Amino acid sequence: MGPQKAYNRHFCIPMNNYPKIVVIGAGFAGINFIKKLENKPVQIILIDENNFHQFQPLLYQVAISGLEPDSVVSPIRKLFKSCVNMIYRMAKVEHIDTENNCVQTNIGFVNYDYLVIATGSSTNFYGSKSIEKNSIGLKNINDAINIRSWMLQNLELAVEGCNNEEKESLTKFVIVGGGPAGVEMAGALAEFKKYLLRNDYPEIESDTMQIHLIQAGDRILPMMSSKSSKHALKVLKNLDVQIMLNSRVMDYDGEIITIKMEDKDIEIHTNTVIWTAGVKGNILKGIDKKTIVGNRIKVNEFNQVDNLDNVFAIGDIAAMLSDENPKGHPMVAQVAIQQSQNLANNIISKVKHGNFKSPFKYKNKGSMATIGKKDAVADLKIGFLDGKIGWLLWSFIHLISITGFKNKFKIGFSWMLKYFSYEKANQLIIRKYTRD
C-alpha cells in the first residue's frame, strides 16, 4: 500500500457508542491521562510515533553508558495491557482539522469527539542550522544513544591518533545549557573522566579530557534556589568541570564552538557539543497560529485550546498563562502529570454531568538535580537538601516514578552496584553515529 493511499483511509478501529477521545503523545501527560480513564465509559485512541514511553529524566545515564536504553523506555502496549478501552496506533500525526474533528497521520485519519494534544517538546536550536547539524540534543532515547556512540567513537579515535591537537578536540566535551539536564550530563561525564577513563582508555591521559559547561545566565540551575546553584557549582568545579557563566554560544561548525562571554569572543576546538539549552513545543499543523504563544499552545484553566470546546493541550505543549505563571507553567513532568489527571477528571465529569469539575491548580512539589552519582540538590517545601541525603531522595523519587516494575528493578539494581563501584554498563557502540 503506497503512502498516499494509506493517508486517505480511516483508522480501522472497533465502533461503539462511547465518546471517542484521541490522545496524541505517550509522554508523561498522555499516559497519565489514559491511566486515569482506564476502563471508564470512553473510547481512547492513543497515537504516538514511537511504540514506547520515554523516561527523559534518566536519558543522561544512557548517554554515559550508566544504564541500558531499555531501562528508561517502556512499551506502550505493555503499559496498558489491562486497559480494555484504549487502542494504540503507531503513527506520526501530520495535521489536525478542527473544523471536521479529524486527525490526519502518516497511516490514515481518525475522527474524534475530544482531542487531547500531548505532543511534548523537542530541542530548540533557536534557528541555528549549523548548531543543529553539528551538535547533539538530549531530548529522546535516540539522542542519548547518539551521544553514547559519539563519545565512545571519539575516545577510540583519540587513542589511535598521535596528533595532540586532534586528541584534545576528540576528548573535549562541551555541554551547552546549565539547567538540570546540562548539570546532570556534566557531572556524569566528569565522573567518567575521574574514575573510568584511566582503566578503560589507558592511552589517554586523564588531564587531556576536558568537560566544559556553558551557561547563558549568571548561575547554573537558574530555576532552583541560589543554595542549589552554589552547591552544584562547587561540586562540578571539584570534579574539574570548567564552567562558563554569562556566555552565549554564537556558532558551532563541527570543529570550533564560538562563544561570546560578556564582551569577549572565545573559541573552543571540540568534536562534541551536547545541546541542552532549550526546548520548544511540538506544534502540529492545523493549529490556529493565534493560539501559539512562545512555541506552545495557549490553553485556559481547563486546558482547553482557545476557541475550541473539544480540543485540549496538556504537558510541555500547553501554555496556561496566569498572573502567577505569565509564561505558563514550567516544562516539567509534575505539571504534565497533574494536568493530565485534572483533565481526565474534567472530561469524565463532562461526559457524565455535562460540565467540567475543576480548573487546574499546580501543586509544586519541589525540584531536584543530581550531580555525579552520590550528590544531588533538592528544593522542597520543607527546605533545601544536598549531598548524600539529597541524592538518596533523588534516587528514591526517580525509582518510584519510572514506569514498569522491570525497569524499576533493573535501574535500582544497577544503581546499587554502581554506588559501590564505578564500573559502567557495557560501553558498546552498537550503532555508529555519523553527523549528517
Ligand X SMILES: Cc1cc2nc3c(=O)[nH]c(=O)nc-3n(C[C@H](O)[C@H](O)[C@H](O)COP(=O)(O)OP(=O)(O)OC[C@H]3O[C@@H](n4cnc5c(N)ncnc54)[C@H](O)[C@@H]3O)c2cc1C
Binding residues vs ligand X (CB under 6 A): 24-30, 47-50, 56-57, 59, 92-93, 118-121, 138-139, 180-181, 282, 284, 315-317, 331-334, 336
CA angle in degrees (0–180, nearest 5) for 9-11-13: 140
Least separation in angstroms between CB 318 and ligand X: 8
C-alpha 40/C-alpha 33 separation (Å) is: 12
Cross-strand pairs, 274: 136, 175
Looking at the Cβ atoms of 260 and 278, the one nearer to ligand X is 278
CA 189 to centroid of chain Cα atoms = 18
Grid cell locating 357: 469539575
Per the DSSP assignment, residues forming a β-bridge with 298 are 319
One DSSP character per residue, 74-141 reads EEHHHHTTT-TTEEEEE--EEEEETTTTEEEETTEEEE-SEEEE---EEE--TT-HHHHHHSEE-SSH
CB of 136 to ligand X, least distance (A): 12
- For ligand X, the closer of residues 142 and 258 by Cβ is 142
Instruction: Give min distance, CB of 103 to ligand X, in A.
Output: 9
Q: For residues 296 and 418, which CB has a smaller minimum distance to ligand X in the complex? A: 296
The CA-atom distances, in angstroms, between 274 and each of 59, 185, 213 are 13, 9, 10
* Least distance between ligand X and beta carbon 57 (Å): 4
Q: Which is nearer to ligand X, 346 or 403 (CB)?
A: 403
Between 180 and 372, CB nearer to ligand X: 180
327, 316, 325, 322: which is closest to 293 by C-alpha? 327
Would you say 124 and 280 are in contact if contact means Cβ atoms under 8 Å apart?
yes
User: How near is the Cβ of 108 to ligand X at its closest, in Å?
Assistant: 13
Cα of 391 vs its chain's centroid, Å: 20
CB of 72 to ligand X, least distance (A): 10
Q: Which is nearer to ligand X, 223 or 256 (CB)?
A: 223
Give the CA-trace dihedral at 352, 358, 363, 369, to 10 degrees. 50
Nearer to ligand X (CB atom), residue 170 or residue 273: 273
Which residue has its beta carbon closest to ligand X?
A: 27
Helical ranges in 161-289 per DSSP H: 164-170, 180-191, 197-200, 226-238
> CB-wise, 96 or 244, nearer to ligand X?
96
Q: Which is nearer to ligand X, 170 or 314 (CB)?
A: 314
Regarding beta strands 86-90 and 43-48, do their DSSP bridges make them parallel or antiparallel, or are they unpaired? parallel
Q: Give me the least distance between CB of 16 and ligand X, in Å please.
A: 24
Place of cell 589507558: 202
| Best CA proximity match to 214, nearest among 186, 255, 184 | 186
CB of 216 to ligand X, least distance (A): 18
Report the nearest approach of ligand X to the CB of residue 331 (Å): 5
Query: Distance (Å, rounded) from C-alpha 252 to C-alpha 250?
Result: 7
The phi and psi torsions of 23 (rounded to 5 degrees) equal -115, 125
CB of 203 to ligand X, least distance (A): 31
Nearest residue to 88 via CA among 117, 141, 118, 50: 50
Minimum gap (Å) between residue 207 Cβ and ligand X: 29
Cβ-based nearer residue to ligand X, 192 or 275: 275
Torsion angle, alpha carbons of 130, 135, 141, 146, to 10 = 120
By beta-carbon proximity to ligand X, the closer residue of 233 and 318 is: 318
Q: In residues, how long is the chain?
A: 436
